[in-house]
Amino acid sequence: MITCAADNCPSTQDTRIDGNLITLFPFPEDDQRKNQWLRNCDLLLSDDEPLYLCELHFEESYFTESKDLKPNAIPTIFDKKEELLIKQEEIMSQTTPPKQKQINELTLRTPPQSPFVQDNVSLFFI
């Protein structure tokens, strides 16, 4: 029995979507890509058994016309992972310092008048 390695995914080789058997893809042979898949799935490398992911975790753009995976395909669709990404973006936008604004305020400020001019003005009012 082949099952999907993704956390919380119930897909097996017998799972059907709209009457068609779901497609399970073996992890890539290439170490770099394999590690990328494992990272995206929050999985540790396992040499004991071959791992598979079902088609639900790949964006449509990663499929060829014959429903094969493209060589550069990476699984990106995981419920948990998406929540994490949204949280990370929120944290990023909160901690970004408003540097650009500060610089603008400084450059907009008029230069201070020279002491010579200020002296003249005070003398005039006395």
Determine, following the binding rule CB under 5 A, whether residue 23 of this chain makes contact with Zn ion.
no
| Nearer CB in complex with Zn ion: 33/40 | 40
Grouping H, G, I as helix, E, B as strand and the rest as coil, residue 117 is: helix
In the complex, least distance from residue 45 CB atom to Zn ion, rounded to whole angstroms? 18
Q: Is 11 in the site for Zn ion (CB under 5 A)?
A: yes
Rounded Cα distance between 43 and 92, Å, is 26
Task: Compute the distance between CA of residue 34 and CA of residue 40 in angstroms, rounded to an integer.
Answer: 10
Q: 81 near 40, Cβ under 8 Å?
A: yes
The site map against Zn ion for 61-100 (x = CB under 5 A) is ----------------------------------------
